[in-house]
Structure 1
Amino acid sequence: MEKKISVVIPTYKRPQLLVNCLDALASQTLDMAAFEVIVVSDGPDRHTRDATTQWHSTHPSMNFCYLATLTKKGPAAARNMGWMAAKAPLIAFTDDDCLPEPGWLEAFVCRYQGEPHLVMTGRVQVPLSAQPTDFERNTAQLQTAEFVTANCCCSKDALLIVGGFDESFSMAWREDSELQFKMITEGIPVLHVDSACVRHPVRPAPWGVSLREQKKGQYNALLYKKYPRLFREKIQKHPVWQYYAALLLFITFCVALVLNLTLLAQLAFTGWLLSIAVFTWKRLRMTRKSMSHITEMMVTSILIPFVSIYWQWYGAVKYRILLL
């Protein structure tokens, strides 16, 4: 049977998550002969290679291919290697920590009418605990995102026209929006297929993970440089003024202390404390109220404005574009 759709999964050193994803793909309602699965490791990864070899030995009827980039370049590069090796006219993308529902691929194939240039997005479900953490709630934003590579499908011709993913986005951040913006700019329709669903369980996260996540903000500058209008329309309508206000108040407090301007120092410090308190409250009001989580929110809320602005300006300097 001619292959109708290829699935591309970038991965790196998460073999058990990947195997869970592959198990979900083995349960697709679409005839297994009609699709192929291409796993691309973002760099050499012996454990993942061994895990997929073992998995495929128990699922010999699956059309399966394992590839690896020579060095670690990020998921954009891994996806490019995957879709360029694909044999089907449709390319479905998901991530190794996702679990496609049984009818996922069939929904995309049924919607496809042979259009040479077409992009489809599906629905993402993020199961949350009864008392979610701030990290869980942030992950749940995937459910309302307009376009994510955890669940999308492109015709191969459309990918060829736009050149696939921009490998300058070397982390898992904004590379999906960059692809979406290229499709929009080229006039390629992006359609939503609600019945194409994947589940995205939230992975356990270390304490203070929100600080590490700020590093991704450097790629906002790159996306803004390439597509300023679409960036403001769909990503960030205005600068994060609350972060700049917190930073300005803290700097004012420090300068006032040095200059022995006691009243100004007191006012600035009070304003800074108030801004941090409001930020902490917003993050806590609908999340877990355990002592550990409350402490994490308090500490990270103090630091996030400084770290976020640092990485955003790092990106602004790196990519030579002013982005507030």
Structure 2
Amino acid sequence: MTKDIKISVVIPTYSRPQLLMECIHALALQHFDSEAFEVLVVSDGPDAATRKVVNSWKATGLLQLKYLSLQRKSGPAAARNKGWKNAAAKIIAFTDDDCRPDPEWLNRIWQHHRKDDDLVAYTGKVIVPLPEQPAITDHAFNTSHLAKAEFITANCACTKAALELTGGFDEQFTMAWREDSDLEFNLLKHGIPIRYLPVARVIHPVRKSSWGSSLADQRKGIFNALLFRKYPDLYKTRIRQSPPLKYYLMTGSLAAFIICLLAGNLPAAALLLGCWILGWLYFTAQRLMHTSRQLPHMLEMLYTSAFIPLLSIYWHFYGSIKYRAFFL
């Protein structure tokens, strides 16, 4: 290694070797001196397949690659911390294993960095390619919202000094949710400027999801409460996310239906069940408004729309109790 490392790229990953392979391939195509940047792949726990991918790329000699691993699965925030703390460069760029950085990505970051900027962060442009209608699924539509995020770990960079001052990522965020907003708010709290670089682009393809995956996604709502507890004012102005009113109305009418049914008040139970059905169908129609009308997808929307309100409220209050952060 004859040249100084200018940028260190950190990629958290776990058990997604094919996606990681494509991400590393995109980094190998960077219009940036391969001796001037390194790539640190951090596995969120022991993962032989990930190690094998990294070793196969190291053998090509096209990139300076390092493989690191957490002792046990702890989440992408912990993986990113291990990465930047072991990085050689003063600028740490973050992306994810399901992303493909544009060939000019690192070059644009480096061109816009001033050497006297010890405390600064950058956020780039995320592009989410979507299929044409009618093939857009609910999962794809939700993924497309990443393109509107203010600060996202799929495409951001910080000086190492900024990460050291803020402490980096909060490892209480054990899922890929709100840990990037937490870092953003922490940077703002410390007065560290975040500069938007629309010319630094990363492609975030929509990966395949399992049927009904939106139900499991509701668990992420726990971390809304953690972020609210830490930064209530910023959360209110920039996030403002909590279960919507229709979720409470649907869950409330369902609970009241069960109570009336058990009490033998059948007319009231029938009315409340009708209210829940109307809410369920309305919610389903909302989700189908911009997405596929193909039968399998419609059945998935009908099924998941029946349970999402209940799960969303459950995880919201679970997080509120766990982190002692009560908000509606």
TM over 0.5: yes
Write out aligned runs for 1:62-77 (5 A). Answer: 62-77=63-78
Could you report, residue by residue, the CA deviation over 1:56-112 in whole angstroms, capped at 9, with x for unpaired residues?
A: 112x14221111111111100000000011111110000001000000011111111
Q: How many angstroms apart in 2 are the aligned matches of 1:166 and 1:221? A: 14
Residue in structure 2 matched with residue 20 of structure 1 by the alignment: 22
Report the residue type matching 1:31 in the other structure. Answer: D
Question: How many angstroms apart in 1 are the aligned matches of 2:294 and 2:214?
Answer: 17
> 8 Å contact 1:118–1:158 — kept in the other structure?
yes
1:247 alignment partner in structure 2 = 251
- Which of 125, 129, 141 is the aligned partner of 1:123? 125
Cα distance, 1:279 vs structure 2: 0.8
Mapped contact 1:312–1:323 kept (Cα < 8 A)? no
User: Are positions 1:190 and 2:203 aligned together?
Assistant: no
1:126-160: CA deviations, max 9, x gaps?
A: 11111210000001110001111000000111101
Give the fraction of aligned pairs with identical amino acids, expressed as a percent. 48
Q: 1:227 aligns with which of 211, 226, 231?
A: 231
Where in structure 2 are the equivalents of 1:279-298 lying within 5 Å? 279-298=283-302
Amino acid corresponding to residue 86 of structure 2 in structure 1: A
Structure 1: distance between partners of 2:267 and 2:241: 36
What is the CA–CA distance in structure 2 between the aligned matches of 1:274 and 1:146, rounded to whole Å?
35
The residue identity in structure 2 corresponding to 1:127 is P
1:288 counterpart SS class: coil
Alignment of 1:131-146 (within 5 A): 131-146=135-150
Counterpart AA for 2:71: L
Give the distance between the partners of 1:321 and 1:121, measured in 2 at CA.
29
> What letter is aligned with 1:322?
F
Secondary structure at 1:184's aligned position in 2? helix
Read off the aligned partner of 2:219 and give its amino acid letter: K
Deviation at 1:165, TM superposition (A): 0.2
SS in 2 for 1:2: coil
Q: Which runs of 4+ in 1 moved over 6 A?
A: none
Contact 2:155 2:201 in 1 (8 A): yes
- AA in 1 matched with 2:266: T
2:110 matched to 1:109? yes
Q: CA deviation at 1:268?
A: 1.7
Is the partner of 2:158 in helix, strand or coil?
Answer: strand
Counterpart amino acid of residue 224 in structure 1: F
- Give the RMSD, CA atoms, in angstroms: 1.2
Contact 1:232 1:238 in 2 (8 A): no
Question: So what's the TM-score if we normalise by structure 2?
Answer: 0.96
What amino acid maps onto 1:38 in structure 2? Answer: L
Structure 1 unaligned blocks of 5 or more: none
